[in-house]
Amino acid sequence: MPSGPSFPRRSLVLAPFLAPLALAACGPPDTADAPRTLESALADRRRALLARDPDGAGALLPVGDRAAQRARDVEALAAGLDDWAVELPAGGTVGTGEVAGLLRVRVAGEGRAVAAPVRARWDGALHLAGDTPQPWDLSAPVSAQRVAGGVVLHVGEPSAVGREVAADLADATARVDAAWGTGWPRGTAVVVLARSADVSRMAGTAGDLDAVAVGLDADLADGRPAGVRVVLSTERFDGLTPLGRSVVLTHELVHVATRATPRPAGAVVPRWLTEGYADHVARRGRDVSASALATALLDAPGEPQVPGDAEFTTADAGRVQVAYAAAWTLVTSAARVSGTPAVTAFVRDVWTGTRLEAACTARLGRPFSDVVATWRRDVASDLVGWVP
């Protein structure tokens, strides 16, 4: 949403953050005297966690580290940890060399595992290191609330905001289905935190965020994109109206849905298109004032410009607000002429590798320059007659 980016490139990691830590694997390998390898240690840790055995998962952990890691593993299991694995590069590594791998983690209720970069090493103990925390790394109890649409992970004492999010998740999912279709992992984990600073830590970004979709853009072993989680804070959500909270949640679920679509290497998807489409889907049919939503843009001097990607991440909050307002009004202007289904097809084409100009002509029936010209006329008229 306008307070920050929704596409962080750093993801959640099931490991303590900021410093490497030796983690243990459970039990001996299949052959008692066979040398343990990085691969077998990772496999043993996975087996122990999926067997809900935190003691076994820490069997080779140095004594001084066992208690702290066991506490984190217990919280992960309480959150419904349903899959944990590290995918190593083809061929893997045996011995003491560190390997950059891909960690996948899924909790019950999530449609897809969330991926994260991780560094792994075996030297008699299993070392895993990552840069950002999982919900259970934040020194607070984690409870899972399974609901239609996915699961809400309450970090700390469940709050009124968290319960409201749980009640709204099914409706937000249905709104995304109505625009994007149902071909996306429709089970989403929403992590509810007390502080916006913890949202930034989990997203690997700076600034206060209302909510953010997190997870590494990567393919899992089956060739399909990894999943995405939504992270939000009660600190920020308390300042929004119930309608505003519903819009923000729906906006983030649009990102979950679009990012579930395979994206070819080299595909260029401008930020204004993804953010503008997410806002269009989240706001359409709502009882809100279009001109109030776009105040930052309507008050900005000069002719409105299509925002570049950098405008969404600048430290200048005013420019960020203008960028989001420009993106939303541009996409919605196109939908007013061609309809939301055509705009959805346009977004899908660009996401899957079609050049923007070609996709615009094919799906919206006119060149992009015409779309921009119509949008500028709409803005010049102060969005008179608009109903989101």
In-domain check, residue 253: no
Is residue 247 a contact partner of residue 281, using CB atoms and an 8 Å limit?
no
Q: Identify residue 288 by its one-letter amino acid code.
A: V
The answer to whether residue 256 is domain-embedded is no
The CA distance from 362 to 342, in Å, is 9
What is the spatial order of strands in the sheet that 150-155 belongs to? Answer: 142-147, 150-155, 188-193, 229-233, 211-214
Q: Domain span at residue 99?
A: 21-132
Over the range 54-72, which residues count as b (16 or more CB within 10 Å of their CB) and which as e?
bebbbbbbeeebbeebbeb
The residue from 132, 162, 185 where one domain ends is 132
Looking at the domain assignment, is residue 161 inside a domain? no
Strand partners, 47: none
**Residue 184 to residue 174: CA distance in whole angstroms:** 12
Model confidence, pTM: 0.88
Number of structural domains found in the chain: 2
Give a yes or no: residue 207 inside a domain: no
pLDDT score recorded for residue 328: 98
Contacts by residues 344-347 (CB-CB < 8 Å, ≥ 24 positions apart):
344/179, 344/180, 344/181, 344/277, 347/258, 347/273, 347/274, 347/277
Going residue by residue through the chain (388 aa), what tens digit of pLDDT does each one get?
A: 443 333 332 233 333 332 333 333 334 344 344 568 888 888 999 999 999 999 999 877 667 777 888 899 999 999 999 999 998 886 555 445 788 899 999 999 999 999 998 888 888 888 888 887 899 988 899 999 999 999 999 999 999 999 999 999 999 999 999 999 999 988 999 999 998 888 988 888 776 778 899 999 999 888 899 999 999 999 889 889 999 999 999 999 999 999 999 999 999 999 999 999 999 999 999 988 999 999 999 999 999 999 999 999 888 999 999 999 999 999 999 999 999 999 999 999 999 999 999 999 999 999 999 999 999 999 999 999 898 7
* Helices assigned H by DSSP within 36-141: 38-50, 54-57, 63-78
CB 190 within 8 A of CB 233: no
Residue with tokens 């930020």: 271
**Which of 87, 104, 132 lies at the terminal end of a domain, its last residue?**
132
Q: For residue 293, which of 203, 387, 222 has the smallest C-alpha distance?
A: 387
Strand-pair partners of 214: 229
pLDDT value of residue 128: 83
Looking up residue 81, the CATH number of its domain turns out to be: 3.10.450
CB-CB contact of 118 with 155 (8 Å): no
**What integer pLDDT is reported at residue 16 of this predicted model?**
33
Which of 92, 116, 132 terminates a domain? The answer is 132
DSSP label at residue 2? T
Is residue 82 packed enough to be buried (19+ CB in 10 Å), middle (13-18) or exposed (0-12)? middle
Per the listing, tokens 């998807």 go with 269
DSSP-assigned states of every residue in 123-175: SSSEEEEBSS--GGGSSS-EEEEEETTEEEEEESS--HHHHHHHHHHHHHHHH
Query: Is 53 inside a domain boundary?
Result: yes
Of 324, 281, 318, 273, nearest to 300 (Cα)? 318
Question: Which residues lie closer than 8 Å to 244 by C-beta, 6 or more apart?
Answer: none
Question: Does residue 225 lie within any of the structural domains?
Answer: no
Residue 30 lies in a domain: yes
Copy the structure tokens of residue 237: 């959500």
* Whole-number Cα distances in Å, 308 to 157, 296, 326, 330, 341: 40, 17, 11, 13, 25
DSSP 257-326: HHHTS---TT----HHHHHHHHHHHHHTT-S--HHHHTHHHHHSSSS--PPPGGGGT-S-HHHHHHHHHH
Can you give the C-alpha Rg of the chain in angstroms? Answer: 22
Q: Is residue 304 part of a domain?
A: yes
